[in-house]
């Protein structure tokens, strides 16, 4: 994902809060996804933001600022099972009218006791 | 309901041989994506299909890689004259593509390719 930038690795403590940031290209932008991927498994969908603001889903929340080309995933009350890679992906419309979703390389989160 | 399926789940081949990987998307999903993921790395986009057409082939690493989709459903990714650097997990995903909030990609379990 050459247009997406997110930290490579993060470490956080069980029970704490962690924020994973993502910046993306704004040209043709139509939406921002977050996926979770545990080691050795396929990615699974977490959230999708198309409007500015914060969307909350239980312990996970996702924020988007379209004008800044910025998003973050907020994980509260961290649990050991949250140790995984978190992938940011943007949805861009191209000149042919097609929508393409491009993934970043992911942020590997390690939750420690 | 049935999710995205891929076959084979594991493939070991010798350098120089051709391999064919198959993806069965979720029924009714018009968009289909192929990605490659090397050990410990992020997703590398290869190609995507909207119906049977492939608007974006920019991710294919070389002309040894090709993909097709017929009937708007099953897709095959072919790698000719495999090289050791082709060893990776090849992931397929599909999405509905019917509206602005329906591009959630659902991933298959992947095919782990090992080239000896």
B106 within 8 A of B93, measured Cβ to Cβ: yes
Mean pLDDT value across residues B33-59: 84
Mean pLDDT value across residues A72-97: 89
Share of chain A above pLDDT 70, in %: 93
Q: Which of A97-101, A107-111, B51-55, B83-87 has the lowest mean pLDDT?
A: A97-101
Share of chain B above pLDDT 90, in %: 59
Contact B101 A31 (CB under 8 A): yes
Q: What's the whole-number average pLDDT of chain B? A: 89
Q: What is the pLDDT of residues A39-54, one digit of tens each?
A: 888 899 899 898 999 9
Q: Is the pLDDT of residue A96 over 70?
A: no
Query: Comparing C-alpha atoms, which of B106, B12, B3, B56 is closest to residue A94?
Result: B56
Q: What is the pLDDT of residue B1?
A: 54
CA nearest to A96 within chain B:
B55
Q: Is the pLDDT of residue B15 over 70?
A: yes
Query: Comparing C-alpha atoms, which of A70, A54, A22 is closest to residue A62?
Result: A54
Mean pLDDT value across residues B89-102: 74
Contact A96 B55 (CB under 8 A): yes
Contact B45 A102 (CB under 8 A): yes
Q: Is the pLDDT of residue B3 over 60?
A: yes
Q: Which of A1, A48, A100 sits opposite B101 (nearest CB)?
A: A48
Q: Which of A44, A85, A99 sits opposite B103 (nearest CB)?
A: A99
Interface of A with B in 26-85 (CB under 8 A): 30-31, 33, 35, 42-45, 48, 50, 85
Question: Rounded to whole angstroms, how far apart are CA atoms B116 and B44?
Answer: 22
Q: Is A101 on the interface with B (CB under 8 A)?
A: yes
Q: What's the whole-number average pLDDT of chain A? A: 90
Query: Comparing C-alpha atoms, which of A83, A90, A84, A86 is closest to residue A105?
Result: A86
Q: Is the pLDDT of residue B98 over 80?
A: no
B34 within 8 A of B95, measured Cβ to Cβ: no
Q: Is the pLDDT of residue A88 over 50?
A: yes
Q: Is the pLDDT of residue B6 over 90?
A: yes
B76 within 8 A of B67, measured Cβ to Cβ: yes
Contact B104 A33 (CB under 8 A): yes
Q: Is the pLDDT of residue B31 over 50?
A: yes
A103 within 8 A of A36, measured Cβ to Cβ: no
Question: Rounded to whole angstroms, how far apart are CA atoms B9 and A78?
Answer: 32
Mean pLDDT value across residues B37-51: 84
- B-chain residues within 8 Å CB-CB of A43? 43, 91, 105, 107
């Amino acid at each position: 994902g050459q247009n997406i930038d997110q930290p490579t690795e993060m470490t956080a403590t069980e029970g704490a809060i962690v924020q994973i940031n993502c910046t993306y290209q704004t040209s043709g932008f139509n939406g921002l996804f977050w996926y979770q991927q545990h080691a050795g498994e396929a990615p699974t969908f977490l959230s999708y933001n198309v409007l500015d603001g914060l969307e909350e889903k239980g312990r996970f929340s996702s924020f988007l600022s379209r004008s800044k080309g910025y998003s973050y995933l907020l994980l509260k009350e961290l649990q050991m099972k949250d140790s995984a890679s978190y992938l940011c992906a943007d949805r861009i419309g191209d000149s042919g009218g097609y929508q393409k979703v491009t993934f970043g390389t992911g942020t590997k989160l390690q939750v420690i006791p | 309901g049935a999710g995205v399926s891929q076959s084979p789940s594991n493939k070991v081949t010798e350098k120089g041989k051709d391999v064919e990987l198959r993806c069965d998307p979720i029924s009714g999903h018009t968009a289909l994506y192929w990605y490659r993921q090397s050990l410990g790395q992020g997703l590398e986009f290869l190609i995507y299909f909207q119906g049977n057409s492939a608007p974006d082939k920019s991710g294919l690493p070389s002309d040894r890689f090709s993909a097709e989709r017929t009937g708007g459903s099953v897709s095959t990714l072919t790698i000719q004259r495999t090289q050791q650097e082709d060893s990776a997990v090849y992931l397929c995903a599909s999405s509905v593509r019917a509206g602005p909030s329906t591009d959630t990609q659902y991933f298959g379990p992947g095919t782990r390719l090992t080239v000896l």
